[in-house]
Amino acid sequence: MELSADRILLMGNEAIARGALEGGAAYATGYPGNPSSEIVETMFGYQREHGIRVEWSANEIIALEAAAAFAFSGLRAIVTMKQNGMNVASDFLTTVSLNELKGGLVLVVCDDPGPMTSTNEQDSRHFAKIAQVPLLEPFTASEAKEMMRWLLVFSEQMGIPCILRSVSRLSHGRGAVKLGPVPSQEIKPSFDIEKPLVGLPFLVTPNHAHLLKKMKEVQTTFDKSPFNEYTGPNDANFIIMATGLGALYAREAVNMLHLEQQIGILKIGTIWPPPSHLIRAYLKQAKDVLFVEEIDPFLEDQVKVLYAEHASKLGAVSFYGKNTGDIYGPSGPGVGEMNTDIVLDALGRIFNKEISACASPYEDARKQASILLVPREVAFCDGCPHRASFLAIKAALELDGRKGFVVGDIGCYGLGAGPTGFNQIKALHCMGSGMGNACGFSQMASFGFNQPVVAVIGDSTFFHAGLPALINAAFNKADGLFIVLDNAVTAMTGFQVNPASPFTATGKATRPVLAEDIARSVGAKITVLDPIEDIQESIHAVYAALQEEGLRFLVFRRPCATFEKKTRAAEEILKARIDPESCIGEICGCNRFCSRVLACPSIQYDKDKDRAFINEDTCNGCGLCVQLCPRQAISLVNIQKEGRSA
């Protein structure tokens, strides 16, 4: 595709944001989470020029509820989240779909198949079926933009919230997108008090019936939707039914195997409700159907139901899918990310074709590029406050000696489950789960449970999902130690602001919400300190808290080192430096404590010189290693003062 002034290269998420703009969204919000975060971030760029309101919400259900208020009042709004957030938002989604919206409301959910940054591998399309709302799934950045734009209008027409489903590779891949016009905002929002939107039980049944009726209309629209497209011979009796990126993989695989004359591809973009007339037409033509889709056999199941319903009018069809075990990656059907190789393998098996012969043209390039990748341990950044926090927690638990352990949840600090966090987190599930688990652990004393439990939670996660657990703990007299690892930003998803930040996402000054203020108000015993400043004091603080009873709330507060580096003033740039005279190498009894145990990526050990040294380019000057070197060989220097040294 040629690029030009109105045809530009966009990341999938940027394309979705552009679609929201062209679809006339007045409000965009969400909760950051990979792979969805860039949508709202892109919208921030539009807000001034186009008068859109954009903000990060404390969690996904709040985001959806806030966006719904726009739709209740006649404006259009979008809400973004990752698949885990879908679960959080679903409570509201399944009730709001029963009401008639005045404005368009689109929920964008980005799934993370073969998760890079998630704690589950969830196919969010099921929620469309649960809530009975329309769901589209694009296959290119260009289509993502177009679907987003169209959905906002369509949602408004039908009065139903809609879902756009993306996946990591679509959200983060780039494609040419043709820009369209941006409508001007002219509607003055108002809420019609004559039409209350209440979900009282006696209204549910009629509303539900009404919704299902509307969904029939949606289906009629979807049957004719240009988002569904058939390519290939008109009489092909082997048909691949594909959704999202699956359609691209299918096309590529068919081309590579030179099966274009035998296989037709039905790309389906309108996932729920499935376009049943369209599908039935192709079921009639087909003798064999292969399904290519991300994560669950969602389309596959729907097609099979349709087939069963109409079997008498259809011929015999063989289905090849995940349920039948015909299409699978290295971890088996229905798990891991879909790709062209998996489709090739499946086709190879079905058509009895040797597939090694058609190696991808990209394979060589990939092999060459992979040489450039240095294997790296997943580790906290240089100077990360969490390294000190987990060291303090580990030290305190070891000293305490009662086989205490840490439960945690989602955030950078989730790495506390791995070597960089001294393998401290022993249970990690969803946002806020650690604090919730801790409530339960603390209620088992009467059964003889006597291990101390420490729940860690990030600042953003605390506001997202920790608050109810805190209040639950206070109310039920839980005997727990909660540690908030407050680094002042939502670091893992790209440094978004959160309620602990002094500024909103748009840079407006706001009153930061301090976790300890809330905890104090429910009667918790509070300790607040910088985890790195004096590591011995940090260890003592955790140890002391472990010896106490009741609800204990410790805040380890220090800004994210990587975020600080981006924003800090230039007059002081601290770097740690190791004096090669003072470091004595292997003969020191410390057994390379700084580079091996502390394992900050900036600290390395030079085997030839038998000395530890610090990579000043990456060091963030936190000073933790300075405190721990038994030879006092490490000191902090201000390189800004001394002039940049080699």
Partner 1 sequence: MCGMQNDLKRLREEVLGTDVCTACGTCVNLCPNIISIEDRIAVLADCQIASGNCYRYCPRTIPDPRIAEALCGDVGYGGPVGNYSNYLIARSRLSGKHSFFQYGGTVTALLVEAMRQGLIDYAVVTKAVGNFPHPAIVKNEEEIISAGGSKYALSPTNKEVNRACTAGSGKIGVVALPCQATGLRKKQLQPREDGVEKASVSLIIGLFCTWALSQAGWRALLNRHVGSRFVKAMDIPPPPANIMVIDVGGERKTIPLDEVGKHVRPGCKVCLDMTAENADISIGMVEGKAGWNTVITRTEQGASMLESAVGAGIIETGSLDQKAWDHLREASLNKKEQALKEAEARAKRLPYYERIIKLGKKIRDEDKNGTER
Under the rule (CB under 8 A), what is the footprint of partner 1? 391, 394-396, 398-401, 422, 539-540, 543, 584, 587-591, 593, 596-597, 628-631
Cβ nearer to partner 1, comparing 18 with 592: 592
Cβ nearer to partner 1, comparing 3 with 399: 399
* Residue count (the chain): 646
Please report how close the Cβ of residue 550 comes to partner 1 at its closest, in angstroms.
16
E-assigned strand segments in 50-196 = 53-56, 76-82, 105-111, 135-136, 162-167, 174-178
The 8-class DSSP code of residue 28 comes to E
Which H helix or E strand runs over 318?
A: strand 318-320
Instruction: Select from 270, 262, 268 the least CA-distant residue to 232.
Output: 262
Please report how close the Cβ of residue 379 comes to partner 1 at its closest, in angstroms.
15
Pairing label, strands 552-557, 525-529: parallel
Cβ nearer to partner 1, comparing 136 with 626: 626
Please report how close the Cβ of residue 264 comes to partner 1 at its closest, in angstroms.
58
Cβ nearer to partner 1, comparing 200 with 587: 587
Please report how close the Cβ of residue 324 comes to partner 1 at its closest, in angstroms.
45
Cα 407 versus chain centre, distance: 20
Cβ nearer to partner 1, comparing 334 with 404: 404
Cβ nearer to partner 1, comparing 218 with 629: 629
Distances (CA, A) of 574 to 566, 629, 637: 14, 18, 5
CB 407 within 8 A of CB 425: yes
Count of C-beta atoms within a 10 Å radius of residue 129? 16
- What is the C-alpha to C-alpha distance for residues 64 and 69, in angstroms, rounded to an integer? 9
Coil/strand/helix, residue 288: strand
Sheet holding 525-529, edge to edge: 425-428, 405-408, 453-458, 481-486, 552-557, 525-529
Please report how close the Cβ of residue 598 comes to partner 1 at its closest, in angstroms.
9
Residue with tokens 């109810």: 468
Please report how close the Cβ of residue 407 comes to partner 1 at its closest, in angstroms.
21
Cβ nearer to partner 1, comparing 16 with 415: 415
Please report how close the Cβ of residue 402 comes to partner 1 at its closest, in angstroms.
11
Cβ nearer to partner 1, comparing 34 with 538: 538
Cβ nearer to partner 1, comparing 88 with 396: 396
Which H helix or E strand runs over 338?
A: none
Please report how close the Cβ of residue 376 comes to partner 1 at its closest, in angstroms.
20
Coil/strand/helix, residue 79: strand
The 8-class DSSP code of residue 240 comes to E
In angstroms and rounded to an integer, the radius of gyration of the C-alpha atoms of the chain is 28
Which residues touch 342 (CB under 8 Å, ≥6 apart)? Answer: 249, 327, 328, 329
Please report how close the Cβ of residue 452 comes to partner 1 at its closest, in angstroms.
13
